[in-house]
């Protein structure tokens, strides 16, 4: 399910998923929720395209929730190959390198996103196992101009907003090209990691059923 960017979109999506909605003629009730998407690095050395697996996610108020699904796959090769870390969720886009480093200092997190804590909280309330996997789309030293941030800060990118941002500052085109390239790299790496994770989960589930 594609939720969109930010708290409002994430809450809308997860509340629907966990409300036991009718899908066709069947009640949909997930056994697990996996949050997958992009994140910004909060430390040097974490580069675009690297994939991180959340050990816990939380908000800037200091409320953190464990990624409860990790315990279900203790021996997975993909799990040990990824950076396992704390991810913090921001209520707005984190644009400057200085702000990213300060967020790292306060929250002791390696990456930042805008959705995971809201998903984790809802899953904890419903006692649904939760996992989070993110690909880095911008390094800690990569900034985003206020002009572009305003244009893409909603849960859906506005073509009109982007056009206005470019008119105000033509250099925004270069930022968009960089973001597009980084997003493409991150998406490819995320897709590969997510496929491996789901394949591993399916294999271990088959083994568990066989042994039982």
How far the first Cα of the chain sits from its last, in Å, is 32
pLDDT tens digits for the chain (212 residues)?
888 888 999 999 999 999 999 988 899 999 889 999 999 999 999 999 999 999 999 998 889 999 888 665 545 555 555 688 999 999 888 889 999 999 999 999 999 999 999 999 999 999 999 999 999 999 999 888 887 777 776 666 667 777 877 888 888 888 888 989 999 999 999 999 888 877 776 655 554 554 44
Global pTM reads 0.83
The contacts found for 60-66 with CB under 8 angstroms, 24 or more apart, are 60/88, 60/89, 60/90, 60/91, 60/103, 60/106, 60/107, 62/107, 63/117, 63/121, 65/117, 65/120, 65/121, 65/123, 65/124, 65/130
Contact 155, 8 (CB under 8 A): yes
Could you tell me which CATH number the domain at 7-211 has? 3.40.50.1580
């Amino acid at each position: 399910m594609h939720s969109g960017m930010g708290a409002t979109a994430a809450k809308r999506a997860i509340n629907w998923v966990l409300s036991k909605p009718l899908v066709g003629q069947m009640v949909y009730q997930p056994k697990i929720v996996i949050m997958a998407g992009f994140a910004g690095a909060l430390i040097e050395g974490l580069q675009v395209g690297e994939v991180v697996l959340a050990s816990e996610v939380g908000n800037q108020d200091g409320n953190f929730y464990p990624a409860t699904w990790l315990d279900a796959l203790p021996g997975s090769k993909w799990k040990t190959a990824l950076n396992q870390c704390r991810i913090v969720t921001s209520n707005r886009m984190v644009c400057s390198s200085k702000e990213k480093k300060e967020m790292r200092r306060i929250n002791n997190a390696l990456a930042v996103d805008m959705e995971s804590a809201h998903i984790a909280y809802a899953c904890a309330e419903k006692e649904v196992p939760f996992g989070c996997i993110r690909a880095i789309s911008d390094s800690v030293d990569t900034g985003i101009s206020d002009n572009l941030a305003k244009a893409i800060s909603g849960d859906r990118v506005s073509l009109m907003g982007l056009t206005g941002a470019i008119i105000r500052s033509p250099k925004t085109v270069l930022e968009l090209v960089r973001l597009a390239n980084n997003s493409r790299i991150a998406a490819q790496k995320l897709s590969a990691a997510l496929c491996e994770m789901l394949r591993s989960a399916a294999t271990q589930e088959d083994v568990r059923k066989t042994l039982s």
